[in-house]
Amino acid sequence: MKIEGQSMHCLGQGSNAFTVLMASGGTDKKGGSGGKRGSKSSSFPHPWQQWLYNIAMSPQDYVGTYKSMEYNESCVWIKDSYPKGRHHFLVVARDPSLEQPSDLRRRHCGILKRMLSYGEARTEHLRNLGVDFKLGFHSIPSMRQLHMHVISTDLTGTGLKHKKHWNSFTTKFFLDADRVVNALESDGQLVIDRKGCEDMLKENLKCFKCQDEFKTMPELKAHIVRCKTER
């Protein structure tokens, strides 16, 4: 399937349903997984990229920092510190071998389903009040340790400031969690075309309701709260 002039496969299409943007230049490079707390891996070399990993490995150390944090043996629930929607949470996997979506295999469907159910259960009260959420992953995350975004679809959060923020939630760069599960069940793994995904972050700014284009984030943010177009 072709998207925006690039040859790539995308979610849920065709028989080989879930090659996510087939790699154009090799697979993810990363160092060993499951390293010790705070250790570096080549996909996530910076200290700031280790924060979610550190929380996942030792959530008990962060209870005071994150008032609404919850955790169990398989995942941690926290509020996103730089929310891109009015409500924005993260479900962080605790398995140290899961750094990012490209690490997922068929055998991880169980943990993914638990993360999905967890996110749905924790937002039930808001959804009962009419708040819509999307649950899923950034195909190329910025932070180490697999984390599922649970984000209200308004995309009016105070942390949403840049084009790449917007496009990371409105284009196929965002991998819906239930489609990830379906793809793993059928194909066994995800293959991520980094170049294709990175190009999506550079696409023109577009309202996800009416599809009008905008030059700047402030213009788009002012528009999005007024746009009445039904999706």
**Active site positions, annotated:** 147
- What the block records as the tokens of 11 is 């979610």
Using CB under 6 A as the binding rule, whether residue 142 contacts ligand AMP is answered as: yes
Q: Tell me which residue of 169, 187, 136 sits closest to 19, measured CA to CA.
A: 187
Q: How near is the Cβ of 2 to ligand AMP at its closest, in Å?
A: 26
Binding segment (CB under 6 A) for ligand AMP, from list 6-14, 28-36, 75-83, 222-230: 75-83
Whose Cβ is closer to ligand AMP: residue 34's or residue 47's? 47
DSSP classification of residue 189: B
Q: How near is the Cβ of 54 to ligand AMP at its closest, in Å?
A: 9
Binding segment (CB under 6 A) for ligand AMP, from list 7-15, 37-45, 138-146, 220-228: 138-146
159, 195, 202, 219: which one binds ligand AMP (CB under 6 A):
159
Q: Which amino acid is at 218?
A: P
CB distance 165 to 151 below 8 Å: no
**Who's near 124: CB < 8 A, 6+ residues apart?**
none
Rounded to 10 deg, the angle between the 177-187 and 109-122 helix axes is 170
How many Å is the Cα radius of gyration of the chain?
Answer: 17
Q: How near is the Cβ of 99 to ligand AMP at its closest, in Å?
A: 11
Whose Cβ is closer to ligand AMP: residue 57's or residue 143's? 143
Using CB under 6 A as the binding rule, whether residue 82 contacts ligand AMP is answered as: yes
- What the block records as the tokens of 55 is 């929380």
**x-marked contacts with ligand AMP along 163-202 as a string, rule CB under 6 A:** ----------------------------------------
Whose Cβ is closer to ligand AMP: residue 161's or residue 223's? 161
* CA–CA distance, 35 with 49 (Å, rounded to integer): 14
Proportion of the chain in helix, strand, coil states, percent, rounded to 5: 30, 15, 50
Which residues of the chain form contacts with ligand AMP (CB under 6 A)?
51, 78, 80-82, 138, 141-143, 159
